[in-house]
Amino acid sequence: MSIEELLEQMEQYRLRREQRDYRPDWLKGFVQQAAGLFEPLTHVGRVGYDCQFDERGWTVCMYLGTTEIVGGAKDGRIDHASFRIDLTQITLLFTSMSRLEWYSVAESCELNEPESIRSIISIHGVVALGNEVRLELLSVPPHKIKPGLHYRPDGMIYETH
């Protein structure tokens, strides 16, 4: 296969992947605006999200991804990114809000692992064009999400795919 054929195949894959995105444009804009409010406190971070639609409307879960250390004494360690979000700014993304809640959820301990406490801010309200949205800001990504970045001991950070 020539390089041109490979590039064409990659472009076709990208187009098919984009066509599978069934989120409405107003929701894509909402997610982009909310993602822009995440401020990593250390290193860099990549905002992850999941959008689900059900009979109550859209639920958007957002979080800052994790980084895996590759090589060196801490090889394989997963670091959660510390971040902050200006809650006043995030609430301005809504035209009206019906709920603003904070959850602190303790999870059971696994053998030889420290207890995990997750923090979630949940905002229910109306955004563009009268659409109902439940926004959940997670302190750490869901367990099933793999690290989005790798950090090498030489200081190089690179994305995983």
| pLDDT tens sequence across 73-102 | 767 676 677 889 999 999 999 999 999 999
CA separation for the pair 37, 122 (Å, rounded): 15
Residue 17 is predicted with a pLDDT of 64
Residue 148 is predicted with a pLDDT of 60
* Total number of domains in the chain: 1
Say if residue 112's pLDDT is above 60.
no
Identify the residue with better confidence: 131 or 144. 131
Mean pLDDT of 127-136: 93
CB atoms within 10 A of CB 88: 7
Residues with Cβ within 8 Å of 42's Cβ and at least 6 positions away in sequence, in order, are 81, 82
**Model confidence pTM above 0.95:** no
What does the DSSP 8-state code read for residue 108? P
Residue 3 is predicted with a pLDDT of 75
Say if residue 113's pLDDT is above 60.
no
Residue range of the domain that includes 27: 3-159
Say if residue 161's pLDDT is above 60.
no
